[in-house]
Amino acid sequence: MPESDTKHIVQGACPHDCPDTCAWRVTVEEGRAVALQGDPDHPFTRGGLCTKVNHYIERVHGAERLLYPMRRVGPKGSGQFERVSWDQALDQIASRLTDIVTRDGASAVLPYSYLGTQGLIQCHAMSQRFFNRLGATRLVRAICGSAGGTGVSATNGVSMGIMPEEVVHSRHIILWGTNTVVTNLHLWHFIKEAKHAGARIVVIDPAKTRTAEQADWHVRPRPGTDAALALAMMHVIVRDGLHDVDYIARYTLGFDKLHARLAEYPPSRAELITGVPVHDIEALARAYATTRPSVIRTLVGLEHHAQGGMTYRTIACLPALTGAWRDRGGGLLHLVGRLRTLALNNAAVDMPQLEDTRIRSINMVQIGRALTDTSLAPPIHALVVYNSNPAAIAPNQNLVLEGLKREDLFTVVIEQFMTDTARHADILLPATSQLEHLDLLWSWGHAYLTLNLPAIAPLGEALPNTEIFRRLAQRMGFDEPCFRESDEDIVRKALTSTHPYARGITFESLQQKGWARLNIPEGYRPYAEGNFPTTSGKCEFYSEALAGQGLDPLPGYTPARESHGGDQALRARYPLSLVTAKSALHFLNSSYANMPRQLRAEKEPLAEIHSIDATERTIADGDLVRIFNDRGTLQLRARVGDGVVPGMIAVPSGWWASLSPGGSSANALTADGLSDMGGGGDFHDTLVQMELARPVNE
């Protein structure tokens, strides 16, 4: 429990879905959080928090916090609720779920969640047990990270490469499709150290991001064409004899087949596909292959295409082709979340024995389809949302809202604020913030574990996610011992691990220091001498596993239906590619998009369009424009210039529809198809048209 001293400092960690997972210190005075700072002793956080999180205390003590259970009294979406007691709320939820399960079976219940909190405990520990025990439809939580990770794994066996700190040893750093300054700020410290030591920073991105503006060189392919660029780079490297023949012979599989594929991608063809000039492709390939150590940094932005997995698979071939894995600071820097699955006792947290894998699954990307599909048997009759805001973050937004408005859909939302999703709830339950509960934080961006201690008592009647699902389990008659475990019990079990990465890390040691680095060797070079965790033990340029799945076994490029070179009829109607990246500096996904300070800072969402495309449409900078396709319409102001490549529009993600001009946000337009690998979405393959908005009186 929080201390009761007049003034004290409590260790904790940022809960958000971000690779930085910052350690922080909370100053508490008279039971109220009064100050927050990044932990100055943490080697990755280095005392700083991002623009978004600096004002987290305003979220906690804000006037708009949900603090009491509520029941809907108006139409769905109206936001009209009355306060009820916890007993009333839980009894109604248990009664409705029981009725639905009795009538239609447990698969008529769908949980919907993601990383609204990334903590191991509050994210899913008790909720996953609850829904597995119930037998609910299983949710495929693959909206972000899965496609890219699966693609990298198809080449290297796993998605993990070097550790982020090793970037300081790199001398040629390619930031491929990642806006590091906005979405991975604390890695930028290490990149700047490398730059001061002589490294060259290259950004590959169709948009002129904040990161691109600070790079030494900005390469700008058309959206969704990155695999073609990577293939052309490999063509030049092999053509010019810049590949590492010895490394390839010892540690890779299928080079001869790859060599034949590369013949199809000379720079001249790649220029036609990507829009990157031949001389830039040649220069990029040579610089990458001849500068040592050389590293490629990828995150998740590239994966949101129909061929997202193959894009990552193709890029992942480059370090093995040049032998970059041999060098400290060389190779591929992708997600390191696998450290958590290796180091911790995840089975004690997730309890997979409760899951019945025969039960159907639904991909969270297609929540709109799931809620409106009348042929689904049984239909979804109950939706329980926590740690997510699908009305804002899911693609095909209008279809999602149509589903949420169903009067026959019993919806429970666990939240801290009245989000666009919460407005559609039948029962709305108040969740604690990160300052009010215990959790164990892992990171998909670095190698540290952090213990988050509750700094203050829960405000109002808010409860941790874990406690809410414990009480629901009791109401539903689930009497297994796992539903009586406390949060501390689960943290301790997670840390009870025999893996060497976790050696010496205990609940007590984390209580004392706040955080600990997993025991990763100094100068970690995972594939310097091969040892790839693939079936063959080698980097697989040719993948029998992909061939067995009916996929192209070689790296390749295929235009998506809604992208350059795809469906020509569709492109004739909607000739502009829409990218909805995380460009809003003051939002984190959809978090903070309702906070007054952050809204004032962002001002309004703008639609970036190249001056060539704007001139064709007689659109000037600042004009009110209409962006539309078959799924929906946006009305925003245009920003005209060279911020994006010709043929592209950029609209920031994260804005809530209810707080956006015209009542729609970017996802009103985005596609809800799935990627080729890993179950991710294809929403960056969306095509749209833009025109001047007509006056209201016309």
Whole-number mean pLDDT of the chain? 95
Nearest alpha carbon to residue 23 among 440, 437, 589: 440
The answer to whether residue 607 scores a pLDDT higher than 70 is: yes
Q: Answer yes or no: are the C-beta atoms of 636 and 602 closer than 8 Å.
A: no
- Report the topology of domain 147-334: Dimethylsulfoxide Reductase; domain 2 (3.40.228)
In three-state secondary structure terms, 9 is: strand
A 10 A CB-CB count for 513 gives: 16
User: Domain 568-692 carries which CATH code?
Assistant: 2.40.40.20
| pTM greater than 0.85 (yes/no) | yes
- Same fold for the domain at 70-143+347-517 and the one at 147-334? no
Residue-wise pLDDT tens digits, 460-511: 999 999 999 999 999 999 999 999 999 999 999 999 999 999 999 999 999 9
CATH class of the domain whose range is 7-60: mainly beta
Dist. CA 172–CA 674, nearest whole Å: 33
A 10 A CB-CB count for 630 gives: 10
Q: What are the beta bridge partners of residue 627? A: 634, 690
| Rounded average pLDDT over 97-117 | 97
- For tokens 């076994």, the residue is 553
Residue-wise pLDDT tens digits, 16-61: 999 999 999 999 999 999 999 999 999 999 999 999 999 999 999 9
| Rounded average pLDDT over 623-639 | 96
The answer to whether residue 91 scores a pLDDT higher than 60 is: yes
Band of pLDDT at residue 571, cut at 50, 70 and 90? confident
Q: What is the pLDDT of residue 5?
A: 57
User: Domain 70-143+347-517 carries which CATH code?
Assistant: 3.40.50.740
Per-domain boundaries in the chain: 7-60, 70-143+347-517, 147-334, 568-692
The answer to whether residue 2 scores a pLDDT higher than 80 is: no
Residue-wise pLDDT tens digits, 115-125: 999 999 999 99
A 10 A CB-CB count for 189 gives: 17
Nearest alpha carbon to residue 451 among 442, 462, 463: 442
Dist. CA 552–CA 387, nearest whole Å: 36
Q: What is the pLDDT of residue 565?
A: 57
Tokens standing for residue 576: 């502009």
Q: What is the pLDDT of residue 697?
A: 44
A 10 A CB-CB count for 408 gives: 7
- Interior CA angle at 170 toward 169 and 173, to 5°? 150
Chain centroid, CA 41 distance in Å:
27
Q: Answer yes or no: are the C-beta atoms of 296 and 332 closer than 8 Å.
A: yes
| Rounded average pLDDT over 62-74 | 96
Q: Which residue has the higher pLDDT, 585 or 474?
A: 474
| Rounded average pLDDT over 235-261 | 98
- CA–CA distances in Å: residue 322 to residues 138, 173, 448, 640: 42, 14, 30, 40
Q: What is the pLDDT of residue 367?
A: 98
Dist. CA 163–CA 526, nearest whole Å: 10
The answer to whether residue 196 scores a pLDDT higher than 80 is: yes
Residue-wise pLDDT tens digits, 320-359: 999 999 999 999 999 999 999 999 999 999 999 999 999 9
- Interior CA angle at 149 toward 648 and 448, to 5°? 110
| Rounded average pLDDT over 600-624 | 96
A 10 A CB-CB count for 178 gives: 26
Q: What is the pLDDT of residue 522?
A: 87
Q: What is the pLDDT of residue 650?
A: 96
DSSP conformation letters of 110-147: EEE--SSS--HHHHHHHHHHHHHHHTPPEEE--SSSHH
Q: What is the pLDDT of residue 637?
A: 96
Residue-wise pLDDT tens digits, 357-399: 999 999 999 999 999 998 999 999 999 999 999 999 999 999 9
Band of pLDDT at residue 696, cut at 50, 70 and 90? very low
Q: Answer yes or no: are the C-beta atoms of 468 and 414 closer than 8 Å.
A: yes
What dihedral do alpha carbons 610, 611, 613, 617 form, nearest 10°?
140
| Rounded average pLDDT over 305-327 | 97
In three-state secondary structure terms, 211 is: helix
| Rounded average pLDDT over 105-128 | 96
Q: What is the pLDDT of residue 695?
A: 60
Q: What is the pLDDT of residue 583?
A: 83
